[in-house]
Structure 1
Amino acid sequence: MNGKRGSTIFLKVIIFLAGIAVLALCIFFVPRFANFASKLYPNIASLKFLIFIVMYGAAVPFYFGLYQAFNLLRYIDKNTAFSELSVKALKNIKSCAITISGLYVLSLPLFHVIAKKIDPPIGLMVIIIVFASLVIAVFAAILQRLLQEAINIKSENDLTV
């Protein structure tokens, strides 16, 4: 096994573990948090469902982004990293990260209301999620542009030879 293959296997394991961790959060944390928030504000009936919409809604693009990252690693393993498929995967990862960030930005008022009644910095956690997603989106956009430029240079060189 060469070094490139070993590093992609390591990254695939990390992707898998990240997926398991978020699944555990979705199963165990989200329902408890939604119930807790609805008990804080019993007069706001839709609060519980808004939390479900935001958190489970963000899980969908998260898993799609993980799938795209996994595909990107497969392209690297097959020596087809410099392809339009890789550019498309990076574009999808960028879109997923922007979607997650957007969902949590839109939900900031919701989490601010919840944070008023409890000590832990829920708002800070939401802001961290927003900025982490934006960092991933910017990183994916830069990689997408660099990869597209490399593909363009490679195709120009192939035409001149």
Structure 2
Amino acid sequence: MKRETLFLKIAVFLIGAPIVALCVLGLPWLAMDVAESDSKLAYVVYGILVVMYISAIPFFIALFQAFKLLSFIDKNNAFSELSVKALKTIKKCAIAISLLYVAAMPLFYILAEVDDAPGIILIGMIFIFGAAVIAVFAAVLQKLLKNAIDIKSENDLTV
């Protein structure tokens, strides 16, 4: 394993660890707390929790693809169709996360109206725009990498 990508691989694990902790410890605790409170908004909170659990799936798929991309860089195979495919998967996962939270925005709105806390809507928007930025960035990198691969294959043929 090269030193250049070791830090990035550690960062990928450090990004995933809090999400695992949230899915295993935080969200079940929140669900039990809502169930015990006998709140009228339990269905809204449960809906948001379901979206959070579902969005964890594409999140971890994207993290795995990022780890694979770093492995390709380690093997001097960064300019390959496998890298383009990994970036395409990351882009699709980010779009899926954005769409999930767009679908959940009415739930965030209901929760914000009842609690009189408009900041809750901003939290939902952060999830949407954060994932959208990652999708755009992955799409740009995918396009650049595809163009670089095409130029490289042209240069290999002009020997």
What TM-score do you get using the length of structure 2 for normalisation? 0.89
Structure 1 portions without partners, runs of 5+? none
Q: What amino acid is aligned across from residue 75 of structure 1 in structure 2?
A: F
Contact 1:37 1:114 in 2 (8 A): no
| Structure 2 residue 105 is matched with structure 1 residue 108 | yes
Among 22, 26, 31, the residue aligned to 1:29: 26
Partner of 2:83: 86
Instruction: State the shift of 1:14 in Å.
Output: 0.8
Partner of 1:125: 123
User: Which residue of structure 1 aligns with residue 51 of structure 2?
Assistant: 54
Cα distance, 1:30 vs. partner?
1.9
CA RMSD in angstroms comes to 2.0
State the AA in 2 paired with 1:63. Answer: F
Which range moves more in the overlay, 29-38 or 123-132?
29-38
- More moved, 64-73 vs 26-35: 26-35
Higher relative contact order (CA 8 A, sep 6+): 2
**Which amino acid counterpart does residue 134 of structure 1 have in structure 2?**
A
Q: Deviations over 1:55-81 (max 9, x none)?
A: 000000000000000000000000000
2: CA distance, partners of 1:105 / 1:55: 12
Q: Unpaired segments of 5 or more residues in structure 2?
A: none
TM-score (norm 1): 0.88
**What number of residue pairs does the alignment pair up?**
157
- Equivalences for 1:70-81 in 2 at 5 Å? 70-81=67-78
Output aligned runs, 1:139-150, within 5 Å: 139-150=137-148
Aligned-partner Cα distance in 2 for 1:148–1:8 = 22
Give the % identical residues.
53
Cα displacement string for residues 108-158 of structure 1 (whole angstroms, at most 9, x for unaligned residues): 000111122334722111111111101100000000000000000001111
